[in-house]
Amino acid sequence: MNGAVILPRAATIHRLMSRDTPLIVARDLTKRFKDFTAVDGVNFAVHPAESFGFLGPNGAGKTSTMRMIGCVSPVTDGVLRVFGMDPRTHASAIKARLGVVPQQDNLDNEITVRENLLMYARYFDIPREVAARRADDLLTFVQLSERANSEVEPLSGGMKRRLTIARSLINEPEVILLDEPTTGLDPQARHAIWDRLYRLKQRGATLLLTTHYMEEAEQLCDRVVIMDRARIIAEGSPRALIEQYSTREVVELRAPDDERSVIREAVSAVAERIQELPDRLQIYTADAECALEAMRAAGVHPESALVRRSTLEDVFLRLTGHALID
């Protein structure tokens, strides 16, 4: 299943694969627990050198999907192939070629930063000299060289996440799985992580990430699937999804209930859609200025009006009726 167009870029892929052969394929992939279904018949394919995102709220099934791809959760139903192999029978071979950045940190807190990388390399049977060299390169890449010999425990959340990213690269993986890579980080740390991931992208890495931050999906992903309640409800590039499911601009305003019907009347000509939210009104239109004009002409002066571009959050709202972050 080849939906998106792959943009050519200079790549340093270690094992050559045909551009059309997906690295990961899922068909009717299902994950059922005793009392509920976490993933319900999803279909997707991830191609080499692309940055693929699962966007959706907490509980949508993103982490369960990632865990199945990472061979740490058995598939209940459907087909999943990673590098052409079945996780049920070739888990170790698959994991040898994956890099994993989990949602919750799981670093070795009692040992040093550098020891974390060296030990992790041993699990992949990477020879010591190679591991040492890679560890130094990776610490430079994530800008932790100065902390190489400090213990992990006192590091900040952002530093720990950078170390986890470095660790996930120690085996030079073909696909890197990132589960909510910047959740819980302050904005500065978040931008540092995005910067590192963007550089990885530029080097031709294949990234697979889950997030509930639409900014993250828009900034980092070539292609996104939107998940909600165990299903995939839309797929495409962030730009394409916004064009398809939303308008170019949005006017967000706060107005008392009694004014709302007047506003609706006023903008009906220019607005494609109006979304009523508990605390605000969102007017979807191709031209926000026109909408604002129309309101002024009708004598409406809302308490606050904000004009912005459409985001994936608006796409999500349109498709599901609820917000990404509740």
Partner 1 sequence: MTRALRIVQRNAVVYRHVWRGSLFSSFLQPTLYLMALGLGVGSLIDARRAVVVGAPSYVQFLAPGLLAAACMQVASFESAWPIAGKILWNRNYHAILATPLRVDDLIVGELCWIAVRLTTVGTAFLIVASLFHAMSIAPATLLALAMAVLMGLAFSASILAYAATLKNGKDFNVLFRFVVTPLFMFSGVFFPIDRLAVPLQWIAQVSPLYHGVQLVRGLTLGALSLPAAAIHLTYLLLLLIAGFAAARSTFRRKLYA
Which residues bind to partner 1, rule: CB under 8 A? Answer: 33, 70, 72-74, 91-93, 95-96, 98, 100, 102, 104-111, 115, 119-120, 122-125, 151, 171
- Residue 222 Cβ, how far from partner 1 at the closest point, in Å? 24
Closest CB 9 distance from partner 1, rounded Å: 27
Residue 268's contacts (CB-CB under 8 Å, 6 or more residues apart) are none
The residue among 166 and 295 lying less far from partner 1, judged by its C-beta, is 166
Q: Which is nearer to partner 1, 107 or 262 (CB)?
A: 107
Q: Are 41 and 78 in contact (CB under 8 A)?
A: yes
Residue pair 112/163 in contact (Cβ under 8 Å)? The answer is: no
Tell me how far apart the alpha carbons of residues 21 and 27 are, in angstroms, rounded to a whole number.
Answer: 15
Residues in CB range of 293: below 8 A, 6 or more apart: none
Q: Pick between residue 102 and residue 236 the one whose CB is nearest to partner 1.
A: 102
User: Which CB atom, from 20 or from 35, has the smaller least distance to partner 1?
Assistant: 35
Residue 50 or 179: the one with the smaller Cβ distance to partner 1 is: 179
Residue 154's Cβ-count burial label (10 Å; 0-12, 13-18, 19+) is exposed
d(CA 35, CA 114): 42
Which one, 25 or 111, has the nearer CB to partner 1?
Answer: 111
Smallest separation, CB 84 to partner 1 (Å): 17
| Smallest separation (angstroms) from partner 1 to the CB of 119 | 5
Burial 247-259 (b: 16+ CB within 10 A, else e): bebbbbbebeeeb
Strand ordering across the sheet containing 98-101: 98-101, 175-179, 206-211, 51-55, 223-228, 231-236
Q: Closest approach of Cβ 104 to partner 1, in Å?
A: 6
CB of 248 to partner 1, least distance (A): 41
DSSP lists the bridge partners of residue 234 as 226
